[in-house]
Structure 1
């Protein structure tokens, strides 16, 4: 019995969530979170929020405009992401995203969410990703952020896009092992005041000054 406290100590240490080590916290939202009660939303608990804006070359998230306006009013750092469909024209997708999102000074860089092959091969996936990134980078004068799961990124996108800011999804108590990540989506089962549904939770790996340095000039 005298060994039990030490065993419990080791167990607790092994289960500690590494996301707790990062000071800057964020959410990402879409219509899946339904209509948010902005009067109850606790803005002081988050440092940044990413919002789904578009998908493919013809779909705008039904709550994007409302979510964008509400977060802007609250003064939270906000960014928008596009869900990439590799079978569709990458340039048309980029132009649709740029037409939909009113990017402005102080916004987080645009995000390209790349999660699926959609039946294309690796070469065509990377070609399309490069086209989207180039078109958006030219328009916003900044490098867009790439979002992907750790396994998908390392299998299909690394090292070709390693010079782009990286947002990695890994639902694990341990941080991603991929080098150079800036954002880590560590859970899709979070809770936040004002949001009735589960919500994705994120951290930023660096300082507040470095987060602000990413904002559009």
Structure 2
């Protein structure tokens, strides 16, 4: 009997270790409340108390590098929204943008477009380029301004914080007037700190892949959290960025009622 007990305990330990490495739950096994078990991570992080899978509403952000996407499988996996790269600077458009835009709508996934900001163009010029290429379509998510330090050889500028916020505000004002919704601002930890973005008038989408946003961006309210760049979703080959909405499923429904383009 004692030998049987030891064997049983050994089997339980093996199963516990195996479960702790399942991609959907990271190193802590099964996802927390509200998570969809079909979502995973090819390089899971040890989140501790601030596990993103405790959030009920999850989405993706994508660009040309995701290739062909089976949007119906993506929706079936529990993805509730998609932010699609549209434009960069004042002269580049993602070659897959319009196709993704149509396909996501066909799968009935709420989607919005994001613009990657370059510091060698004015905020007004980039706003005009975004408006030229992104439809003002009823039911789409608010536009997004992705503003972070770039590693472009053609635009290595790092302007002072005052210029960054002035030009970003111009972009937000112009684009917000056109689409009837003030854009969301996506940013990274270093850029947020370097430019003291907390006083920028916007709803924030924050990148934080090593800790909860409340620790990385103390005191900053946020609507969306990009928690990994190595996520896995049925219908998408390879890694994809995964994001969580700040509130519950009921909060998400209310957010959509007020923030969709009319």
Judge same fold: TM > 0.5, yes or no.
yes
* Counterpart secondary structure, 2:205: strand
Question: What is the CA deviation profile of residues 9-31 of structure 1, one whole-angstrom value per residue up to 9, with x for unaligned ones?
Answer: xx959735521111000000001
Structure 1 residue 169: Cα displacement: 0.4
Q: Which residue is equivalent to 1:187?
A: 228
1:136 paired with 2:175, answer yes
Match for residue 208 of structure 2 among 170, 173, 188: 170
Q: Which has the higher helix share?
A: 2
Taking a change above 3 Å as real, the CA distance of residues 20 and 175 of structure 1, as seen in their structure-2 partners, is farther
RMSD: 2.3
- Could you tell me which runs of 5 or more consecutive residues in structure 2 were left unpaired when the two chains were aligned: 1-12, 18-26, 29-45, 151-156
Question: Could you tell which deviates more after superposition, 42-51 or 79-88?
Answer: 42-51
Higher relative CO (Cα under 8 Å, sequence separation at least 6) belongs to 1
Q: Is the 8 A contact 2:71 2:107 kept in 1?
A: no
Write out per-residue CA displacement over residues 197-217 of structure 1, whole angstroms, 9 at most, x where no aligned residue: 210000000222233122122
State the TM-score, normalizing by the size of structure 1: 0.87
Counterparts in 2 of 1:34-49, with a 5 A limit?
34-38=67-71, 40-49=73-82
The alignment status of 1:147 with 2:186, answered yes or no, reads: yes
Distance in 2 (CA, whole Å) between partners of 1:39 and 1:25 is: 16
State the secondary structure of the residue aligned to 1:193.
Answer: coil
Point out the structure with the larger strand share. 1
Normalised by the length of structure 2, the TM-score is 0.73
1:18–1:40 distance in 2 versus 1, CA, 3 Å:
closer
Question: 2:74 is paired with a residue of what secondary structure?
Answer: coil
Quote the residue 2:165 is aligned against: 126
Q: In the superposition, relative to structure 1, how do residues 125 and 95 fare at CA in structure 2: closer, same or farther (>3 Å)? A: same
For the pair shown, which has the larger CA radius of gyration, 1 or 2? 2
Gaps of 5+ in 1: none
Q: Which moved more, 1:57-66 or 1:108-117?
A: 108-117
Separation in 1, partners of 2:196, 2:172: 13
Offset of 1:89 from its aligned partner?
2.2
**Pair 1:54 & 2:92 matched:** no
2:142 is aligned, of 109, 130, 146, to 109
